[in-house]
Structure 1
C-alpha cells in the first residue's frame, strides 16, 4: 500500500509542478520578478525530484543478483538523498543567489503587474491539490503518529519527501506572494529580493532535513519497537526456542526486513527435529511481521555461565547449522537462514 500510495502522490506532485513551473516562468519573462524566477526554478527542481523518485522506485524492483544478493531496495533511499541534494543546490542556493543579485540591483515590477499575483494564486491552488493528495496517501500508513514522527520514522522515503516538498512549495508561494505584493505596493524591488531570500532559506532547511533523515536510512535502520516486540514474541512463542540469545534486524529496503538471531534451543534427537523447529519459528515470524522476508536463525544451547562470560552459549552445540542443512528432510526455511516468502 505504501508503494502504491507513494507513486500516486509523486505523480500528482509531478503534474502539478510541471504546470506551475511553466506558468511561473512565463510570469517571470513578463515581469522580471526575481521571486517568480526563484519559484520557477523551485518548481523545475521539484519536477525533476519527482522524476528521480519514480526512477528510484522502478530500479528498486530489480531482482537480486550474485553481486547484490539482498536486492536493490535501498535504491529508493539513494534517489531520495539525491533529491535532497538537488533541492539544496538547484532550489535553495539558486534562490539565495538570485535574492542577492536582486538586492544589489533592485527594480520594481513595471509591466504586467497583475500576472505574478494571478499566477501565484493559481499555483497555490494546484500545489494545495498535490499537498492534499500526499496527506491523504500518507494517512493510510501514518496511523496515530504525529506528522513529525511520521516523517522521521517512515521507512518508505517517497511520501515524506513529497510531503516536505509540497509543504515547502506552499510556504514558498506565500513568501513569493508577499514579496511581489509588497513590491507592487511600494515600488521597491528589495521586497521582491526579500521574498526570494525567504524562499531560498526555506528550501535549504527542508533539504537539510531530508538529507539527515535519508542518511539514517542509508546507514541502515532496525525494526520499529512494535515490530521488534512482535518478532521476539513469535520466536519464543513455542517449544522450539527456550530464549533469544541475541537478535539484530535491518531494513534492506522500505518493505523488506532482515532478521538475524542466535536462539537457545532444547537438545534435539536429530537434525530433522531441529530443522522442523526452525521452520516453525520462521513461519511465525513472517505471520507476525510480513515484511520480515530474509531470516537467519542460528541454533545454540544456552548456558548461564557462558552468558556471564559474554558469549551467551555453551562451548558445545547439540546440532550445528551445517549438520541440520545436511539432513535430507524437506524444509521451507533453513537452519542457517532462508530468503523468500
Structure 2
C-alpha cells in the first residue's frame, strides 16, 4: 500500500504544481477572483501532498526505544495537519477573496485565458483523480465509495482522492463563475464562485479531519480481519474459548492485536506455549498487516469478571 500511496501522491504533486502556476498567471492577467481561488486551491494541494510524503517517510522509520510500536501514526498526524490547512488556508482565502469581490465587483478581462487554463487543468486534474480512484478502488472491495471512505485506513490516498475530487468540482464552479461574469455581464458571479470554491474546500477538510481523527486516536481493524483471527484461534483444539480480540491500526498496513484466550485445563503449560507460538505465526502469515500480536492466557470466568469490573468501576 505504501508504494501505491506514494505513486498517487507524486502524481498529484506534479499535476497541482504545474496547474497552480498556470492559474496564478491567468488570475493576474484576467483579474478573476474565482481563478485566484483556484490558484490558491492548487497551491495548497501541492503543499499538502508534500506533507503527506513527509508523513509516509516518517511512518516508515523502524521502531526504537522511545517508540517501541514504531512511527506508523506519523502518517495519520500529517494527514490531520493537511485537513487543517485545507480548511484554514484553502477555504479561508477563497471565501475572503470571494466576499471582497462581491462587495467590490469588477469585470473579468480576457476570459478566454481563463477558459483555456481551466480546460487544461481539467485534463490534468482528471488524470490524477483517475489514478487516485484506481488505487482507492483497489482496496475498497465490495463496499461503496462512501462506505469505503469511512472504513479506509490509508489517509494519504483518501486525502488525494478528496482533494482531486474537490479540484474537479472547483474547476466547474470557477468556469461557471467566469462564464456568468462575462456573458451575463454580472461580475459579482465571479466572487460568488470564489465563495463556492471556499465552501467546497471547507466541506472536504471536515470529511478528511473526521476520518483522520478516528485513525489518529486509534481505530479497530476491519470486521473481516477480526473474524479471520477468531477463526484461526477457534481451530486450535487446545483453545477452549476466545475471550476477546482487541485490534488497533497504527498505520494503513500496521495492526496491533491483543488476544485473550481461555485454554483447556487438562493440557500442560508447554502445550499452551506451543499453541501460542503457532497461533501467532499463523495470524502473521495469513494477515501480514498484523505486525504485533499479544496473546493473553486467561480463564473465561476471570476475563468476564475483569470486563464487568471495568464497565462498572466502584
TM bin, normalised by shorter chain, reads over 0.9
Report the Cα distance in structure 2 between the residues aligned to 1:145 and 1:206, rounded to whole angstroms.
21
Deviation >4 Å, runs of 4+: none
**Per-residue deviation at 1:270?**
4.5
After superposition, residues 1-80 of structure 1 pair within 5 angstroms as 2-80=1-79
- What CA deviation, in whole Å up to 9, does each residue of 1:243-292 have, x standing for no partner? 11222111121111111122111236654332111101112222332211
- What CA deviation, in whole Å up to 9, does each residue of 1:280-326 have, x standing for no partner? 111222233221121111113444xx566x248xxxxxxxxxxxxxx
Contact kept in structure 2, 1:135 and 1:163, CA below 8 Å: yes
Report the Cα distance in structure 2 between the residues aligned to 1:124 and 1:302, rounded to whole angstroms.
60
- What CA deviation, in whole Å up to 9, does each residue of 1:5-35 have, x standing for no partner? 1111111111110110000000011111101
Report the Cα distance in structure 2 between the residues aligned to 1:21 and 1:255, rounded to whole angstroms.
33
Report the Cα distance in structure 2 between the residues aligned to 1:83 and 1:71, rounded to whole angstroms.
22
| SS in structure 2 at match of 1:242 | strand
More deviation, 287-296/229-238: 287-296
Q: Which of 130, 138, 141 pairs up with 1:140?
A: 138
1:298 aligns to 2:282 (yes or no):
no
Contact kept in structure 1, 2:238 and 2:267, CA below 8 Å: no
Report the Cα distance in structure 1 between the residues aligned to 2:172 and 2:5, rounded to whole angstroms.
26
Tell me: CA distance 1:307–1:127, structure 2 relative to 1, closer, same or farther (3 Å): closer
| SS in structure 1 at match of 2:22 | helix
After superposition, residues 1-341 of structure 1 pair within 5 angstroms as 2-110=1-109, 112-267=110-265, 270-303=268-301, 306=302, 310-311=305-306
| SS in structure 1 at match of 2:61 | coil
Q: Which has the higher contact order (CA 8 A, sep 6+)?
A: 2
Query: Which entry has the higher C-alpha Rg, 1 or 2?
Result: 1
Unpaired segments ≥5 residues, structure 1: 313-341
| SS in structure 2 at match of 1:217 | helix
Contact kept in structure 1, 2:111 and 2:178, CA below 8 Å: no
Give the structure with the larger helix fraction.
2
Tell me: CA distance 1:191–1:9, structure 2 relative to 1, closer, same or farther (3 Å): same
Q: TM-score, normalised by structure 2?
A: 0.94
**Per-residue deviation at 1:187?**
2.6
Unpaired segments ≥5 residues, structure 2: 308-314
RMSD: 1.5
Contact kept in structure 2, 1:35 and 1:193, CA below 8 Å: yes
Report the Cα distance in structure 2 between the residues aligned to 1:92 and 1:301, rounded to whole angstroms.
55
